[in-house]
């Protein structure tokens, strides 16, 4: 083994390592100032300390992680592995298939399901030298925005255990925020990466539809699902995105454009000069009691100081976003979840009635295996697709969706970026949303547009409220311009560091 | 008023939908599902009321004037540039919607056993399921031996 470089500047205790970003950690690991196993030690000491209370993970694979760290270290030492995320311990949402490691989707239905293959993003993380720590908690089948509908119990907010961490990728967001992982993957169908990232004070990105292969992602609403990174800062998000993006013949909706347009590496924060940003200012300051309004105007000022032009803009169809989204998402979900029949994999009823008749077995398996929120959405989905209602709901929603897409395209020819809120209300208390799911649905107001239109969007912590809880905002960009989103958030991060 | 109508309609509706959804609901669950469905349809009400019409172009107002005065974006854009951008956007959409297809072939035949390991019940490499033809059929035809 060759010599290790100068170690005097690195704090090797776990607190020291955990304070590092994923890309900084990796540069120290590839520079052989820190061992891959040391980074894992730090993460597992944090898990030891906090996991019992936070419940970020459904499954932790400690043995596999150390085995993998040994291999990664060998590849780094022999010069095979050099990438910007080599040796980084990561967490992955439990709806992304991991070969040989159970993948539950937060559901009793898949409690014992062990995939026989890796999702495309897992292959890519593996090739980049990332080390999987475990599978993170989520709302059952990603149906929710608080991580409370998980069949394995909720995840708690890292800063305040009486609050939810957001969802549905709440486990991933809480893991990154608490130091139980250096970075994570989630999936975003209506805000499920951006909203928990906002709650937990980390950066989360929903990439352009089609830029990341969903081979091995358990489907929710296929016309909107995208896998996205959650990380401590925009640079880490950029690095993770550049690892996972790209066309894949196993996902017919993945596109080559993202590879042609790998400009997400070349955008410079200096490019913000002359940038046109449209600020979405919902309602008035009084109406937005959670400080979001103030956050938008303060962030707009920061952008202006960097030379960008910011003006207020309005979106159309705001009232229709949620109805359109929920009609389409539930329709697609009811169709996607039809595959769970108690035959090929997943839960099968033990009820004797189910042993006598096939159809009874399927119905009972599904009714017992799915939680109440999943059953509710399947029923609505079937309703809007059923004869006599299809045109009034599903077909109409598809039509309006196209109008929404056109309206956002028009806006994004006028502006380079759209700045706006992520959340309508303050972070919910544990238990609050389960009592009234409709209130939870209305909380998705600002995030669903990017899923309906396919545009990329990133959420980032902007300010803190009086209690010290993070308030996040969102930037939406043109198709495949993730690079500009990362650069803009990086510029804001830099501006915040300078003012501190 | 509207809710009552919904509730009545939905009591029957839920029965039909639960067949499509392949869910078996208890009587209590059916009532709850009917109430949920009524609320869901209220939630969708704006969508039902929507009718296609020519939309107004997007307005732009300056944030620093309290959103009152309508002005173009800070950095002025020429008509040519805007047209160019619209063209680019169209190209991008084509790129997004252009799916890639592959032959529908089995590529993991050898993984059969591994795949079967997740089945709740299997025998000789096949899924085991209860009878899918009702017991009544057997009795009627007297063919109960198979």
Contacts of A364 in chain B (CB under 8 A): 24
Three-state DSSP class for residue B69: coil
Q: What are the tens digits of pLDDT across the range A22-43?
A: 999 999 999 999 999 999 999 9
Q: Please state the ipTM of this predicted complex.
A: 0.88
What φ, ψ does residue B7 adopt, rounded to 5°?
-60, -45
pLDDT of residue A355: 84
Of B61, B86, B100, the CB nearest to A249: B100
User: In chain B, whose CA is at the least distance from the CA of A439?
Assistant: B43
Find the closest chain A residue to B87 by CA distance. Answer: A413
The Cα of B4 is separated from the nearest Cα of chain A by a number of Å equal to: 18
B77 CB neighbours in chain A (<8 A) are 276, 414
Identify the pLDDT of residue A495. 75
Mean pLDDT across the stretch A97-118? Answer: 97
Which residue in A311, A382, A383 is closest to B63 by CB distance? A311
Q: What is the pLDDT of residue A257?
A: 74
Write out the catalytic residue numbers of A: 93, 168, 192
Provide the 3-class DSSP secondary structure of residue B23.
coil
Instruction: Count Cβ atoms below 10 Å from residue A298 Cβ, excluding itself.
Output: 13
What's the whole-model pTM score?
A: 0.89
B13's enclosing H/E stretch is helix B2-20
- Sequence-separated (6 or more) residues with CB below 8 Å from residue A48: none
Tens digit of pLDDT for each residue in A427-449? 999 999 999 999 899 999 999 99
- Closest chain A residue to B32, measured at CA: A376
pLDDT at position A164 over 90: yes
Mean pLDDT score, A33-61: 98
Mean pLDDT of all residues in A363-378:
97
The pLDDT tens digits of the residues spanning A218-268 come to 999 999 999 999 999 999 999 999 999 999 989 999 988 776 665 555 566
pLDDT of residue A335 exceeding 80, the answer is: yes
Pairs across A and B, CB distance < 8 A: 219
Whether residue A457 contacts residue A205, with contact meaning beta carbons closer than 8 Å, is answered with: yes
Tens digit of each residue's pLDDT (9 = 90 or more) over A83-96: 999 999 999 999 99
Interface of B with A in 12-41 (CB under 8 A): 13-14, 16-18, 20-25, 33, 36-37, 39-40
**Per-residue model confidence as pLDDT tens for chain B (146 residues):** 445 555 556 678 899 999 999 999 998 999 999 999 999 999 999 998 888 775 444 444 333 233 333 333 333 344 455 555 555 555 555 555 566 777 888 888 777 888 899 999 999 989 999 987 765 554 444 443 33
């Amino acid at each position: 083994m060759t010599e290790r470089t100068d170690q005097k500047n690195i704090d090797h205790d776990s607190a020291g390592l955990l304070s590092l970003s994923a890309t900084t950690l990796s540069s120290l690991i590839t520079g052989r100032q820190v061992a891959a196993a040391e980074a894992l030690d730090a993460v597992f000491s944090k898990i030891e300390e906090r996991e019992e209370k936070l419940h970020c993970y459904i499954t932790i694979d400690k043995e596999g992680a150390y085995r993998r760290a040994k291999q990664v270290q060998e590849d780094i030492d022999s010069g095979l592995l050099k990438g910007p995320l080599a040796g980084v311990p990561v967490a992955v949402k439990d709806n992304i298939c991991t070969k040989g490691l159970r993948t539950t989707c937060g559901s009793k239905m898949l409690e014992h399901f062990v995939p026989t293959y890796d999702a495309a993003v897992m292959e890519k993380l593996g090739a980049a030298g990332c080390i999987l720590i475990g599978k993170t908690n989520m709302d059952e089948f990603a149906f929710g925005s608080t991580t409370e509908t998980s069949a394995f119990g909720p995840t708690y907010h890292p800063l305040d255990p009486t609050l939810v961490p957001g969802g549905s990728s709440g486990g991933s967001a809480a893991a990154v925020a608490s130091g139980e992982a250096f970075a994570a993957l989630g999936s975003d169908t209506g805000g499920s990466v951006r909203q928990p990232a906002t709650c937990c004070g980390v950066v989360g990105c929903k990439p352009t539809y089609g830029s990341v292969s969903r081979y091995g992602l358990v489907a929710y609403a296929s016309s909107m699902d995208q896998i996205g990174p959650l990380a401590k800062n925009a640079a880490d998000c950029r690095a993770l995105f550049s690892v996972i993006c790209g066309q894949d013949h196993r996902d017919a909706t993945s596109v080559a454009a993202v590879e042609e347009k790998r400009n997400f590496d070349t955008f410079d924060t200096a490019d913000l000069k002359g940038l046109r940003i449209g600020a979405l200012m919902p309602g008035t300051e009084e109406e937005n009691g959670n400080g979001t309004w103030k956050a938008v105007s303060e962030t707009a000022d920061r952008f202006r100081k960097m030379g960008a032009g910011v003006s207020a803009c309005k979106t159309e169809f705001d009232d229709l976003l949620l109805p359109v989204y929920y009609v389409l998402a539930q329709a697609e979900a009811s169709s996607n979840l039809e595959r769970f029949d108690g035959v090929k994999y997943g839960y099968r009823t033990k009820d004797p009635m189910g042993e006598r008749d096939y159809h009874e077995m399927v119905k009972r398996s599904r009714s017992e295996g799915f939680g109440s929120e999943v059953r509710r959405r399947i029923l609505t989905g079937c309703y809007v697709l059923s004869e006599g209602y299809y045109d009034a709901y599903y077909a109409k929603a598809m039509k309006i969706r196209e109008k929404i897409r056109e309206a956002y395209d028009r806006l994004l020819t006028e502006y380079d970026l759209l700045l706006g809120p992520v959340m309508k209300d303050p972070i919910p208390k544990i238990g609050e949303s389960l009592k009234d799911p409709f209130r939870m649905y209305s909380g998705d107001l600002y995030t669903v547009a990017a899923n309906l239109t396919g545009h990329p969007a990133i959420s980032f912590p902007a300010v803190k409220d009086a209690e010290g809880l993070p308030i996040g905002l969102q930037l939406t960009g043109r198709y495949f311009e993730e690079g500009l989103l990362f650069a803009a958030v990086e510029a804001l991060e830099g501006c915040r560091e300078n003012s501190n | 008023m509207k809710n009552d109508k919904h509730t009545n309609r939905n009591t029957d509706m839920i029965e039909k939908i639960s067949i499509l959804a392949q869910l078996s609901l208890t009587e209590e669950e059916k009532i709850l599902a009917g109430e949920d469905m009524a609320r869901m349809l209220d939630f969708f009400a704006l969508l039902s009321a929507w009718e296609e019409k020519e939309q107004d172009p997007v307005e732009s107002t300056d944030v620093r004037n309290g959103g009152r005065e309508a002005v173009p974006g800070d950095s002025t854009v020429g008509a040519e540039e805007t047209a160019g951008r619209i063209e680019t956007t169209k190209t991008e959409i084509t790129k997004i919607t252009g799916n890639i297809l592959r032959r529908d072939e089995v590529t993991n035949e050898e993984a059969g056993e591994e795949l079967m390991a997740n089945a709740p019940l299997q025998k000789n490499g096949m899924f085991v399921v209860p009878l899918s033809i009702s017991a009544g059929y057997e009795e009627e035809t007297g063919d109960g031996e198979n």
